Amino acid sequence: MQAPSPDAGLQWVRKSYTDMTVPEMYAALRLRSEVFVVEQQCIFLDIDDNDHLAYHLMGFAPSGELAAYSRVFAPGLSYDQVCIGRVVVSPRFRQKGYGQDLLRHAIEYCDSLFGAQTIKIGAQLYLKKFYESFGFVQDGDVYLEDGINHIHMLRSA
């Protein structure tokens, strides 16, 4: 387990799929479904058979509730580059800076697992400026995924 983030009050936990507990995986799947399927009204199969290939980053509130989550992939799995995906903050924990903390920790997690490398993401278009603030740049045209505009973005090492 990682030490609590001094700036956000979340406890950051990094785990491979095989190291996750059943309650941790349930919390991650529930949060992803709550936001990506219900809140965004996007009917798609979030459980995509890739969780077992991913490393998982979880930010837990002092109450024990999962407040923030993302998953990280080695190069060659989702893209040729290291990949961060399923970046999500619970609606109950927004406007507290946890999104910034989550992405900062996800980038650090990538670097600790694979060394400093280019990171690729498939970002929802409305979050372009957010990702640009972390050094990501658009790579290609807008594309539609599950009814939502997305762009590929790269962050150089």
Instruction: Write phi, then psi, for 40 (nearest 5 degrees).
Output: -85, 5
Q: What's the pLDDT at 44?
A: 84
pLDDT at 2 over 70: no
Q: What's the pLDDT at 16?
A: 97
For 42-66, the pLDDT digits (tens) are 888 888 889 999 999 999 999 999 9
Residue 4, Cβ neighbours under 10 Å: how many? 14
Is the Cβ–Cβ distance between 20 and 1 less than 8 Å? no
pLDDT at 14 over 50: yes
How far is 118 from 110, CA to CA, in rounded Å?
Answer: 10
Token duo for residue 58:
């979880």
Q: What's the pLDDT at 147?
A: 87
Mean pLDDT, range 106-130, rounded to an integer? 96
Q: What's the pLDDT at 68?
A: 98
Q: What's the pLDDT at 92?
A: 95
How far is 90 from 92, CA to CA, in rounded Å?
Answer: 5
